[in-house]
Amino acid sequence: GLLKSEVFPLTFKQPNDVPPLCLSTKLEILEWKEYRGTSEENQVLRYILANSKCLRRV
């Protein structure tokens, strides 16, 4: 398995289709441990924030 301290490259390709239903209607709390603020992480975060209609807390 992946150890907590391991760092791995993250690449994000934004989907062209509709976001998953669970993301848009169920996600209320997002806890992202060890967020480093890389360009790739920022892309993922922007996608989540733009598509999570129920998000109450980050």
Distance between CA atoms of 47 and 41, rounded to whole angstroms? 10
Domain map (residue ranges) of the chain: 21-51
CB-CB contact of 41 with 35 (8 Å): yes
pLDDT surpasses 80 at 26: yes
pLDDT surpasses 80 at 8: no
pLDDT band at 28 (very low <50, low <70, confident <90, very high): very high
Section 4-12 average pLDDT: 63
The predicted-structure confidence for 29-50, as pLDDT tens digits, reads as follows 999 998 999 888 899 899 999 9
Q: Which residue has the tokens 């922007």?
A: 46
